[in-house]
Amino acid sequence: MRSVKISVVVPTFNEEKGIEKFLKQFSRQTLPRNEFEIIISDGNSTDRTRELAKKYANKVIIQQSEGIGGARNDGVRVAEAEIIATTDADILVSRTWLEKIVDHFEKDKELVLLFGSNYPITKRKAIKFFSQVKRWENVIGAGLRIFYFAEGTNTAFRKAPFLKIGGYSDMPILDDMEVTFRIKKLGKIKYDGSIYIYSSTRRADKYGIGRFGIDALSSYLKIIFFGKDYHKIKRYAKEEYGK
């Protein structure tokens, strides 16, 4: 029986054009391939996403729960490993990504959630600046244990405490950060900037950095003051992007 140290959960929806490139990069991880599994939690794609993903992923499921958070939750439920890493299908991960994540959790048994840096693949200065600000905020916020701007593109957690708090909510935006407010009651959260990924900016490109920033700030304030986003921002529901 193979020993799986970490399960990688990836939500998808009509990612036919890029799914193979995304999945092939995991053959270059410094963590041996037999020590991690890849789970695709698909939003019932109408293209060949699932067909192509089956060539590389260990498990391909059709999500049953609502939202991108629900897709991740469904993936976690079928995961073999105690440690879960989440990312998206338009991400480039560093070669040491999984090895560093596993190392953190093996060394610190009190750690329940870990997240790293996100570098946008873009030439747009506004997006680069916004990304840099988030990294500064994480250094300060996580260092003081006040707030954590964790992103689902680069987050890892222990399965048991994650399921105990009910997993991700069905919020369409900042569900990845909101979960930190609940899980921190069960253990330690840590930010490590050396655990990094490169991300697509297709959502900001589609809606505009201004609109995206306003929506993110609105959701953040609702999380702070109300504990949830009671006013759903429908435009961030499951969708397709032009590539």
For residue 240, is it within any domain?
A: no
242 located within any domain: no
| Confidence at 230, pLDDT banded by 50, 70, 90 | very low
Whether 238 is in a domain gets the answer no
Q: How many domains does the chain divide into?
A: 1
- Asked whether residue 83 is assigned to any structural domain, the reply reads yes
pTM, two decimal places: 0.82
Q: With a cut of 90, say whether residue 227 has pLDDT above it.
A: no
Residue 101 Rama label (left phi>0; alpha psi -120 to 50; beta): alpha
Report the mean per-residue pLDDT for the chain.
Answer: 84
Q: Does any domain span residue 216?
A: yes
In angstroms, the CA 129 to CA 149 distance is: 16
Q: Is residue 218 part of a domain?
A: yes
Give residue 206's pLDDT band: very low, low, confident or very high (50, 70, 90).
low
Residue 237 has pLDDT above 80, yes or no: no
Beta strands 36-42 and 6-12 are: parallel
DSSP reduced 3-state for 93: strand
Question: What angle separates helix 209-226 from helix 125-144, to the nearest 10 degrees?
Answer: 20
237 within some domain: no
Region 162-190: mean pLDDT is 90
Exposure string of 28-47, with b = 16+ CB inside 10 Å and e = fewer, is ebebeeebbbbbbbbbebee
Domain of residue 82: give its range: 6-232
The pLDDT value given to residue 146? 77
| 243 part of a folded domain | no
> Of 151 and 127, which is predicted with more confidence?
151
Task: Give 111-140 pLDDT, tens digit per residue.
Answer: 999 999 988 876 667 666 666 667 667 667
CATH number, domain containing residue 224 = 3.90.550.10
Q: What percent of the chain has pLDDT over 90?
A: 60
